[in-house]
Amino acid sequence: MSAARRRGLAAAALAALAAGGLAFVLLGGDQDGPAPARTTHAHGGPGPVVVDLAPSTAALEDPAATPRPPTEGEAAAVDSDAVLVSGVALLDLDPLVDATLRFTSDADRVEVATGRLGAFEASLPPGEWTVEAPGLPDAEQVVCDMTSFSAPAALARAVAAPPPRLGSRTYPRPTLRVVGSDGAGADATPRRITVRPGGALLLRFEAPWVLEAQVVDALTGVPLPGATATVELQEPYQRRIVGTAGTDGALRLVAPRTYSGAPPAATFEAPGYAAAASLMDARARVRVGLRRPLRLEGRVRDPDGRPVRAGVTAWSRLPDAATGGRSRANRSWRVTCDAEGRFVLDDLPPGGGDAAGEGAGPHAGVVALLIQHPDHARTRLRRVLVVADGPPLEVTLAPLVTQVGRVVDPAGQPLAGAEVRVFEEGPQPEQASGTDAQGRFVLEDVPARSIVLEASRDGFATTRVAVTPPVEALVLRLEEVGPPLRGRVVRAGGEPAAKVLVVATADGGDAPDEPGPAVVRHTALTNDAGAFSIVGVPAGRTFLVRTAWHGGDVLARDVVAGGEPVTLRLLPLHEVVVRVDEVAGAGSAVVTIVDAGGLVVGRVARRARDADDAFLVTVTASGRLGVVVRAPGFAPALRWFDAPPGEFVAVNVPLEPGGGAVALAVRWPQGPAPTLRLAYRDPALGLRLEETFSPPSVVDLPLRLVGVGAGPVRLEVEARRGERVWPLAPLEVVVRAGETTTIDLDLAAALRDDGPR
């Protein structure tokens, strides 16, 4: 029975019994027999008092049944003023069935069992009680979030539609205040809730995060005894949990839920190895492969070649121990250059990532560097590739200079009150300056390297220019603002497209690429009618107007502001639901949509919410299309289908065992990571396919082609870095069913500066 079905039955039972107020018992038994007798044990007075709480299961089995009042024994109270507390207990939003709940006060302890639908009932004298479920696994770390309701009907609605796990949690042992008939002491605090006669109680128990791991050497697979895993808990705990691996490298960590609700990250460490991290889960089992750390050596000099004693700060992200690439936790290193300008950064993590989330594979690491010196411009290297035994990194600091210039109008007259901003990296300006009555501005301590200056003033169009200070007689000319640039965005069938971003660039030219940092982008969103109006554009210019639509740009060239409104018609979309059969864990499958020639026109966007084996892919192509599904251990599958424009298509793809995999262990020298394009003809499909791996996708090194048909495969590899392209020699490989063939691809020789363009 599904969790939603179980919650629905519990809600129906509660709703049916709501009319009876608290005069009912919710301790239902199993479907196949009568409910067993339950007992509540209370400690108070001369000795334990046993109260029979055996329920009537009629109402639980049939929500339409009329509830009967409890018998005298069923509703017996320990004290004359005891309150009958009824409610439902959930474990991770599912009913907590046949479990023991323990209510404890300063002098008393009451234990009660939950029924088949998680319902319970207990007689508690007024006072403050804590609640726990001692029979649950790792019960000492189970968190309970309690909510009280004025009537069982409200509780039934909450069980049927549980709220999302947002907001703060209660403490692990929250306090329940039971209020007698007089209502005395009804105030509640964040750690204490109140239940009055006639109310109901909802207990949401949340299982702790559990991580079972085996820590091994990533290259040899040998266990690492004595390795540690550390979890830093935040509020409300503020403590550290440490686990140590045994002789087989195995360890187990248990951490309670925190206020944030997000799973904590465990950091794995061993002497002589770089640290790695992995997220915990409700029940996670991972094999953690630790690698030897990397070293980065470098030299810092000034423009004249003299060594600079600068400060160097590096930061990276620890690689995920389970996937070998994706990042989890930040770590930083700080060193100071010696008198010769040299620095050494040790213990860098292999496969780490920089602030942008990019990364490297097992043979390399990625760090970001910040180099500072009071007499030179701050230098930020956002992505530095570190390889074992790589050459030293040479860094030349730019001097700080003063840039003077003027801002003028279209007639060449000085403009006072204009603002000039300096952009180096990123969307935020580094500094700004205003112009005086002669239109003159002064920017001090700007780096003597390529920067972007932006000038703006009310009534004029903003302009940008790329310069390398110091520039003599620098003049920034502002253009007059022209009429708005107007138009509409419609869908393939002519319907208006609302809230679509439209971008206009002056003199766009023929290149549809993203404009550079010195190009001013004018943007607007379409309204409900699909119309847009872009203001602030310069007069007398033509524009390239574009909008991105699910990966495909729609362009209009030579658009004149103030002229006829332009219409951008979006490409027709197809939503293709691909259902994958015979795959254990469909999340590991790769779903690709290709046209008749094998060109990729769509990839999996997200998994459909209504099925674990379905993937939703959005494509803009139409006609004859194919679905290629690949998964580890399975042969690739191809299904062709017809995609009429704008229609919804569902395709079922069964998989059969027999496929193999190809792994490329890629190495490249110091510098930016290249983009790799792999083309091959699959022996099982007879179809030529292409795969492109580019940052940040390159974080998953070694690159893996999973679900490749068994047989000989010829891989055509092409590397690209910026505008340079290196076609590499074809790679011949034989793919065997159920096996992964690894090819070592060393790009150090190919990616030389004198390589082909």
pLDDT reported for residue 352: 53
Outline where 80-192 has alpha helix (H). 152-160
Strand, helix or coil for residue 271 = coil
Q: pLDDT band at 479, cuts 50/70/90?
A: very high
Strand, helix or coil for residue 529 = coil
Give me the mean pLDDT over the 203-217 stretch. Answer: 87
Q: pLDDT band at 312, cuts 50/70/90?
A: very high
Higher pLDDT, 278 or 109: 109
Give me the mean pLDDT over the 311-331 stretch. Answer: 69
pLDDT 10s digits, 183-194? 555 555 556 788
Give me the mean pLDDT over the 439-452 stretch. Answer: 92
Rounded to two decimals, the pTM is: 0.60
User: In whole angstroms, what is the distance from residue 420 CA to residue 433 CA?
Assistant: 5
Give me the mean pLDDT over the 383-394 stretch. Answer: 81
Of the ranges 89-93, 275-279, 536-540, which is most confident? 536-540
Element (H, E) at 15: helix 3-17
Q: Where are the extended beta strands (E) located within 570-636?
A: 574-581, 590-594, 600-603, 606-607, 614-619, 623-630
pLDDT reported for residue 752: 58
Strand, helix or coil for residue 309 = coil
User: In whole angstroms, what is the distance from residue 726 CA to residue 3 CA?
Assistant: 54
pLDDT 10s digits, 147-180? 888 878 888 777 776 655 544 455 556 688 888 7
User: In whole angstroms, what is the distance from residue 389 CA to residue 54 CA?
Assistant: 74
Q: Which of 145-154, 457-466, 678-687 is predicted with the least confidence, judged by mean pLDDT? A: 145-154
The chain-wide mean pLDDT, for the chain, equals: 76
Outline where 98-236 has alpha helix (H). 152-160
- 36: how many CB neighbours lie within 10 A of its CB? 12
For residue 405, give both structure tokens: 């210039």
pLDDT reported for residue 278: 81
pLDDT at 685 over 80: yes
Closest CA to 573 of 606, 624, 619: 619
Higher pLDDT, 681 or 575: 681
Higher pLDDT, 720 or 64: 720
Give me the mean pLDDT over the 438-459 stretch. Answer: 92
Q: pLDDT band at 461, cuts 50/70/90?
A: very high
Q: pLDDT band at 354, cuts 50/70/90?
A: very low
pLDDT at 510 over 60: no
Strand, helix or coil for residue 158 = helix
Give me the mean pLDDT over the 659-675 stretch. Answer: 72
pLDDT 10s digits, 242-267? 999 999 999 998 888 776 667 788 88
pLDDT reported for residue 9: 53
pLDDT at 241 over 80: yes
Higher pLDDT, 480 or 425: 480
Closest CA to 719 of 662, 667, 663, 681: 667
Are the CB atoms for 350 and 323 separated by under 8 Å? no
pLDDT reported for residue 16: 47
Between CA 166 and CA 170, with CA 167 as vertex, the angle to 5 degrees is 115
pLDDT 10s digits, 573-621? 777 777 776 544 444 677 888 887 767 777 664 444 344 557 777 777 7
For residue 575, give both structure tokens: 């939503």
Look up residue 391 and give its DSSP letter.
P
C-alpha neighbours within 13 Å on the C-beta side of residue 114: 29
Q: pLDDT band at 19, cuts 50/70/90?
A: very low
Are the CB atoms for 161 and 189 separated by under 8 Å? no
pLDDT reported for residue 567: 93
pLDDT reported for residue 323: 47
Element (H, E) at 664: strand 660-667
pLDDT at 358 over 50: no
Closest CA to 325 of 334, 333, 316: 316
For residue 580, give both structure tokens: 């994958």
Give percent of the chain with pLDDT exceeding 90. Answer: 24
pLDDT reported for residue 525: 93
* b/e 215-234 (16+ beta carbons within 10 angstroms → b): bbbbeeeebbeebbbbbebe
Element (H, E) at 203: strand 200-206
Are the CB atoms for 487 and 468 separated by under 8 Å? no
Tell me the backbone φ, ψ of residue 50, rounded to 5 degrees.
-100, 125
pLDDT at 46 over 50: no
User: In whole angstroms, what is the distance from residue 753 CA to residue 757 CA?
Assistant: 10
pLDDT reported for residue 223: 93
pLDDT reported for residue 164: 53
pLDDT reported for residue 670: 56
pLDDT 10s digits, 283-292? 667 888 888 8
Q: pLDDT band at 372, cuts 50/70/90?
A: very high
Cβ-based burial of 644 (10 A; exposed 0-12, middle 13-18, buried ≥19):
exposed
Q: Structural domains in the chain?
A: 3-206 (no CATH), 209-290 (2.60.40.1120), 294-396 (2.60.40.1120), 400-480 (2.60.40.1120), 485-559 (2.60.40), 574-654 (2.60.40.1110), 660-746 (2.60.40.1120)
